[in-house]
Structure 1
Amino acid sequence: MAAGRTGTAAALCGPVVAVVLAAGCGTAPGGGSRGEPVAPADTRPRMERVAAAWEGSAALAQWREGFHPLDEQDWAPAGGFRSGEDKAAAVNGNFVLRAALPEGPPSATPVRWDAGGAELTLPLLTAREAYGQLQGGAKGGEARPDRVLSVTAIAFGETTVRTSRGPARVPAWSFTVEGYDTPLTRIAIRPQELPKPPIEPLRTFDGGTAPLFGRSAAPPDATSFEVTAGHGACDGGVAVDVLEGTDTVVLAGRILPGEKAGRDGACPALMLQQRVPVTLARPVGERLVLDSESGAPLEQGPRRR
C-alpha cells in the first residue's frame, strides 16, 4: 500500500460562526514524490488496521454486490415550495390521497448501474407501502390537518440515484402533488441492511484526531475529491492523511496546531467544518473510501451522526 499526505487549508475563510463551512483558503502539499510520503505515526497504524480488516473481506463483497443508495430521498420541487406551509407539510408527511392507489405488486424491475456490471432484482414496495412511507414524514412531524398536500396521481417507473457502486437506474414510485410540476419520487426497493464494518470504531482519541463528515462525489476515473472535516475554533485546521490499497482508500483526519483565539486564552466551544482536498496516486475506481475513525465507508455528502 502507498501512503500519502494531502494538502491542507490551515486558515479559515470568513467570520467564525457556530458552524463554519470553509473552502480551503490555501493548501500546502505534503513533501516527497506523489504517493511516497509516509503518514504520521499517530494515524498510520490505525489506517493500516482498517485497510487490513476490509481488504478481501465479506463486508467488502457485500458492499460491492448490494444496492446501497447514498442520497437522501428529499423532495425538491423545481422553483422551490410555494410557501413555508407547503414545505412544513412535506417535511411532516401531511399528504392527502386524491387518487386510486395501484393494487398488487409492481413489475419486477432490476437495478441497472451506469458503469455496467451485474444487475440486481430486489423485493419491491407496493404503491400502498410507498405511500405509507410518506405519511408522518421523514422527520416524524406532527400531523396538521390545515396544512396538507394533495396527491393526485401515482405511477411506477424508474429514477436515478447515487449508490455505493456509482449512479444507477432503480425502480421507483412517482407521486404527483397538486400545484407542483416536479413529482415526489420514492425508491420502490425495500431497504437493505448495510454491511457491518469488519473493525470496531475508535473508542479513545488522542485529541489530535479530526472527524470526517463526508466527501464530495467523484467519478471512478477521478484522482481527487474533497473531504469535509471538523476541528475546534482554536485549531489551525485539518490535514487528511491517505492510505491507498488494492480495494480500499483509507482517510484519517488530523488536527493542525493553532493559537488561542480569545483574549483571555479561552477557546470558544465551536465545531468548525472545513473542506480539504484529497489527491490520490491513481484513480479511485471501484475502491471503497473508508473513514479511519469509524472504520466504515465515508459517505458522499454530509455524514449523519
Structure 2
Amino acid sequence: MDVRAKHPVGLLLALLLGACLLTGCGGGPHAGDGHARSLQQRQQEGRARQVADAWRGSASAAAWSEGYYPMADAVRIPRSGWRGKADEQAYERENFALRTDLPTASAGHGKVVWKSGGTLSRPLWGARKAYRSFARGDSEGPRLTVTGVRLGETTITTSRGTATVPAWLFTLEGYDTPLERVAAVPSQLPAPPITQAGPGSAGGLERLARLAGIAGDGRSLTVRATHGACDDGPVVKAVETDESVVLYASVAGARSGPCTAALLEESVGVELREPLAGRILLDAFTGRPVPYGESDGPSPSWT
C-alpha cells in the first residue's frame, strides 16, 4: 500500500513541521510584532532627536534660559510638618477657614534672585488669589485656620536652579512657621521651534502629563504618563544632548479587543546619564518643555 498516495497533505504538513522544529519558522506573529516594535522605537527616538535639534541654539531656547520657570511645588507646608492626621487631611482637601483680612492692594512686581547669579523682575499674585489657589475646599471635616498673612520670601527650584522669590506667608493657628505660597508669576512659555507630532507619525508616541519631581542629584526624574486599561503601562525614555533632555513616552503591551476607555495616569522614573542641571527638559510629542504641576493645581504650570 502506498501511503504517500493516500495522504499527500498529511505528509507535507509533517515535513513542514519538522523543518520548523529544526530551523524555526520566521514571519510568525511574534517575529512580526518584534519587528514592528523595533520600527516604532526607532521612529520615537528619531522624533526625540528632531526635537533636540530644533531647540539647539534656537530663539526659543534663548528665551527659556532667561525666564523664570518653577520646577517645584509653589505651596510649602509649615516646616515642622502637620500636627496630626486631621490637619493633613484638611490640607489635602483644601479645607481652610479665614480669620484675618487679606491685603487687597496690588502686590505689584517682585524680584527673582538666582543662587547662581542673575535677577528678574516678575509680577506678583495678590494675597487673595494666592489664598484661593490652595484653599478651594468646602467639604465636611477638619479645617486649617489662617490667622495672618504677610509678603515675604522663600526659595524654589527653577529651570535655572534655586532662586529666592517673593512669597505670601500665611500664619496658621497652632503653628510656629507659616504656610508659604510663591507669589512670583512664571514667565510666558516661548513658542516651540517645532510643531507637535501628528497622529500616527511617530510610532505610537504619547504626550507626557507633567513632571512630578527631580532627584537631589539631578540624575533621575519622575514624570506622570498616561496609558489605557488594556496594556502593560507607560514607558519613558530619554535622548540627552548638552543643551536638552528630550523624553519620549509610549505604551507597552497594548492588547487588541474590547477594552474600557479609561485613561490612567502613572508615575514613571527616568534615569539620566548626566545630571539635568541647566538643560531644558522637553516632551518629544509636543515639542515643548515638560510642564511641572497640574494645570488646575496650586503649583504653577506654564503651558
TM-score (norm 2): 0.65
For 2:289 and 2:71, locate their aligned partners in 1 and report how far apart those are by CA, in whole Å. 11
Residue 296 of structure 1 aligns with an amino acid whose one-letter code is R
Change (3 A) 1:287 1:303: farther
Are 2:100 and 1:97 aligned? yes
Q: Offset at 1:183?
A: 1.9
Alignment match of 1:193 (pick from 188, 204, 207): 188
Q: How far is the alpha carbon of 1:290 from its aligned partner?
A: 0.5
Match of residue 214, structure 2, among 199, 214, 217: 217
Q: Is the 8 A contact 2:77 2:180 kept in 1?
A: no
The residue aligned with 2:274 is: 282
Aligned to 1:27: none
Which residue is equivalent to 2:299?
none
- Which of 298, 301, 304 aligns to 2:290? It is 298
1:131 paired residue number: 127
1:50-71 deviations in Å (ceiling 9; x for gaps): 1122111222122222111233
- C-alpha spacing 1:136/1:272, structure 2 compared with 1 (3 Å): closer
Q: Which residue of 2 aligns with 1:168?
A: 163
Structure 2 distance, partners of 1:140, 1:255, is 34
Report the equivalent of 1:22: none
Tell me which residue corresponds to 1:67.
Answer: 68
| 1:270 aligns with one of 262, 269, 276 | 262
1:228 paired residue number: 224
CA contact (8 A) 1:252 1:291 kept: yes
Deviation at 1:252, TM superposition (A): 0.9
Identity of aligned residues (%): 35
Query: Per the alignment, do residues 96 and 195 of structure 1 end up closer, same or farther by CA in structure 2, a change over 3 Å counting?
Result: farther
User: CA 1:87–1:39 in 2, change beyond 3 Å: closer, same or farther?
Assistant: same
Are positions 1:247 and 2:262 aligned together?
Answer: no
Contact in 1 for aligned 2:75/2:182 (Cα 8 Å): no
Shift, 1:280, TM fit? 3.0
**2:109 is aligned with 1:117:** no
One-letter amino acid matched to 2:215: A
* Unmatched segments (≥5 aa) in structure 1: 1-36
Do the aligned residues in 1 keep the contact of 2:114 with 2:161 (CA within 8 Å)? yes
CA 1:98–1:203: 2 relative to 1, 3 Å: same
Inter-partner Cα distance in structure 1 for 2:285 and 2:180: 34
Q: Distance in 2 between matches of 1:258 and 1:90?
A: 35
Displacement after TM superposition at 1:123 (Å): 4.2
Deviations 1:171-211 (A, max 9, x none): 22312233444423233334532222222223423672233
The structural deviation recorded for 1:134 is 4.1
Question: Distance between the aligned counterparts of 2:251 and 2:137, measured in 1?
Answer: 38
How many angstroms does 1:159 deviate by? 0.6
Contact 1:214 1:303 (C-alpha < 8 Å) held by counterparts: no
**How many equivalent pairs are there?**
256
CA distance 1:76–1:88, change in 2 (3 Å): closer
Q: CA deviation at 1:135?
A: 5.8
Q: Structure 1 residues 283 and 187, CA, compared in 2 at 3 Å: closer, same or farther?
A: closer
The one-letter amino acid of 1:218's match is A
Instruction: Write the deviation string for residues 20-68 of structure 1: whole angstroms up to 9, x where unpaired.
Output: xxxxxxxxxxxxxxxxx99833213322321122111222122222111
TM-superposed CA distance for 1:150, in Å, is: 5.9
Work out the CA distance in 2 between the residues paired with 1:97 and 1:192.
31
Deviates more, 1:52-61 or 1:151-160: 151-160
- SS in structure 1 of the partner of residue 60 of structure 2: helix
1: CA distance, partners of 2:238 / 2:85: 45
Cα 1:46/1:131, change in 2 over 3 Å:
same
Could you tell me how far apart the structure 1 residues matched to 2:221 and 2:90 are? 32
Matches within 5 A, 1:143-162: 151-162=146-157
| Alpha-carbon RMSD | 4.2
Cα–Cα, structure 1 residues 198 and 95, in superposed 2: closer, same or farther, change >3 Å? farther
Aligned match of 1:53: 54
Within 2, Cα distance between the matches of 1:303 and 1:140? Answer: 15
3-state secondary structure, aligned to 1:269: coil
Gaps of 5+ in 2: 1-37, 297-302
AA aligned opposite 2:239: L
Normalized per residue, the structure richer in helix is: 2
Partner-residue secondary structure (3-state), 1:251: strand
Preserved CA contact (<8 Å) 1:43 1:241: no
Q: Secondary structure at the match of 2:64?
A: helix
How far does residue 247 in structure 1 lie from its aligned partner after superposition?
A: 0.7
